[in-house]
């Protein structure tokens, strides 16, 4: 493997593409060119992390171990904590502690939270007291609240300064803090008094006091505020960061826009996982037994609901005996209803996630969804009627009844199933919300029950009525 590239970013792009084809070749290439790998990790740690994520765990861990503590810390910050924990599993505690010391507080806390209590305590025992206190303070907060998302590396200024003095102080802080878009103003007890952007500081009179030019009493959240609320505040007010305080109003940190974007992505994937009964916190790196415990209850519920559907079918075996072609057509009706219901379910969960479904609009929304279900049902009823008639009349499907009769049964069942399934897909999350539950919680499982009952049981009832 020979590469002639001008920049580390170009190298990373080629390596990621090559690793998707043959990760072993890429691992061998980097292992034989350690200076190139170290330069890549130093120049663009995010791209270096992308390369590691394409390799096998053993290969990635070996390459990570070749970096010094600063470079390793920069790369680890760019990797998902679950995967990062896998990569450092066999790293000596002393080396891991050195890397953790170089990481930002929130990134270090996220990583240690994945490593378990024993490893965490061993690492914290080897780092300096101030870093240990910072990480321990962050580990106290759950991952799904503002305290678990915030960074404590936040620029703040005392309220008594002038704008000119504040600009000079920020010049002194520029090497210590990466993000200086917002500067928070605090009193002697570190109570949050205001916020000011760096731009406003520069364009104000040097002699103006901070309390004149700052935004007083800025919107803030407490450390235990749910992450969805934080994301909604950023979205509604177009903030680049939200200050986090304790219950007494003392400034603790800030949730950055980058963290909010991760929250939005996590919430979307959680809603998808919840809808099908998977674990909310489960990833592809979750321990086997933990994944089992998260999924098993919903699968057991699914089994119980499936047996209910089987009971309905069993009660109609007489009609299937008289007309065997119905057994072949039943799954078609259930499948069409399931697809229509899932479309409605996806739209509703997405709207609920963005808080676009006021309670006053629920009846109108459900009426609109019933209209969509009727139009889709009418279209598919027409096609299913025609196709069923053709297949039976041409002898592709054998039937003891008239082709027209079976075609009418299929058309009626298709229309009814799609209408009800579409409304159910929208209604199930709303019902769960009304009950105080997560609207996405196993919604797909309950929807499948309804569409199967209608697709199998309803279809057979229509058949028993017309045959």
Domain limits of the chain? 8-140, 156-266, 288-466
Cα 159 to Cα 166: distance, rounded to the nearest angstrom:
10
With beta carbons less than 8 A apart as the criterion, state whether 147 and 140 touch: yes
N-to-C CA span, the chain: 71
The pLDDT of residue 31 is above 70:
yes
Q: Are 156 and 184 in contact (CB under 8 A)?
A: yes
Residue range 382-394: mean pLDDT, rounded: 93
Same fold, 156-266 and 288-466: no
Instruction: Say how far apart CA 98 and CA 80 lie, in whole Å.
Output: 19
Residue 308 has what pLDDT? 85
Least confident of 2-6, 154-158, 211-215: 2-6
Which tokens belong to 318? Answer: 């007489």
Please write the tens of the pLDDT for every residue from 240-277. Answer: 889 999 999 999 999 988 888 887 776 666 655 555 55
Architecture of domain 8-140: Alpha Horseshoe (1.25)
Cα 357 from Cα 346, distance rounded (Å): 14
Q: Which overall architecture, per CATH, does domain 156-266 show?
A: Roll (3.10)
For residues 26 and 354, which has the higher predicted lDDT (pLDDT)? Answer: 26
Q: How far apart are CA 137 and CA 131, in angstroms?
A: 10
pTM of the model: 0.65
What CATH code is assigned to 288-466?
A: 1.10.357.20
Supply the pLDDT for residue 285. 63
Give the model's pLDDT for residue 423: 93
Burial tier of 400 (Cβ tally within 10 Å: 0-12, 13-18, 19+): exposed
pLDDT at res. 124: 93
Residue 78: strand, helix, or coil: coil
Q: Which residues contact 401 (CB under 8 A, 6 or more apart)?
A: 323, 467
């Amino acid at each position: 493997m020979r590469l002639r590239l001008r920049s580390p970013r170009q190298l990373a792009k080629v390596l990621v593409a090559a690793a998707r084809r043959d990760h072993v070749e890429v691992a061998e290439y980097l292992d034989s060119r350690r200076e190139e790998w170290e330069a890549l990790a130093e120049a663009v740690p995010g791209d270096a992390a992308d390369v590691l994520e394409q390799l096998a765990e053993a290969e990635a861990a070996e390459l990570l171990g070749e970096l010094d503590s600063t470079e390793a810390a920069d790369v680890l910050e760019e990797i998902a904590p679950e995967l990062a924990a896998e990569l450092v599993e066999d790293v000596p505690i002393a080396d891991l502690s050195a890397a953790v010391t170089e990481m930002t507080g929130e990134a270090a806390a996220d990583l240690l939270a994945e490593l378990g209590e024993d490893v965490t305590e061993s690492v914290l025992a080897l780092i300096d007291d101030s870093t240990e206190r910072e990480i321990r303070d962050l580990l106290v907060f759950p991952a799904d609240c503002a305290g678990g998302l915030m960074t404590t590396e936040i620029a703040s200024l005392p309220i008594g300064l002038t704008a000119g003095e504040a600009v000079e102080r920020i010049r002194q802080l520029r090497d210590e803090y990466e993000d200086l878009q917002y500067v928070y103003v605090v009193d002697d007890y570190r109570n949050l008094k205001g916020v000011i952007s760096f731009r406003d500081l520069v364009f104000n009179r040097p002699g103006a006091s901070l309390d004149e030019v700052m935004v007083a009493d800025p919107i803030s959240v407490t450390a235990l505020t749910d992450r969805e609320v934080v994301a909604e505040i950023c979205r509604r007010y177009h903030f680049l960061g939200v200050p986090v305080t304790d219950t007494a109003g003392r400034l603790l940190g800030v949730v950055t826009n980058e963290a909010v974007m991760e929250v939005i992505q996590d919430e979307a994937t959680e809603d998808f996982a919840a809808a099908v009964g998977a674990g909310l916190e489960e990833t592809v790196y979750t321990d086997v037994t933990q994944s089992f415990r998260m999924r098993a209850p919903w699968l057991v519920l699914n089994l119980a609901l499936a047996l209910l559907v089987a009971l309905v079918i069993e009660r109609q075996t007489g009609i299937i005996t008289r007309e065997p072609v119905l057994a072949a057509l039943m799954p078609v009706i259930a499948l069409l209803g399931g697809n229509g219901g899932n479309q409605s379910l996806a739209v509703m969960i997405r709207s609920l996630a963005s808080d676009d479904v006021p309670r006053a609009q629920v009846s109108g929304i459900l009426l609109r969804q019933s209209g969509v279900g009727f139009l889709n049902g009418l279209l598919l009823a027409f096609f299913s009627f025609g196709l069923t008639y053709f297949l039976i009349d041409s002898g592709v499907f054998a039937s003891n009844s008239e082709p027209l009769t079976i075609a009418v049964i299929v058309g009626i069942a298709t229309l009814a199933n799609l209408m009800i399934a579409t409304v159910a897909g929208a209604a199930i999350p709303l019902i769960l919300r009304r009950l105080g539950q997560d609207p996405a919680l196993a919604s797909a499982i309950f929807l499948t029950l309804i569409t199967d009952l209608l697709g199998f049981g309803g279809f057979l009832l229509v058949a028993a009525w017309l045959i």
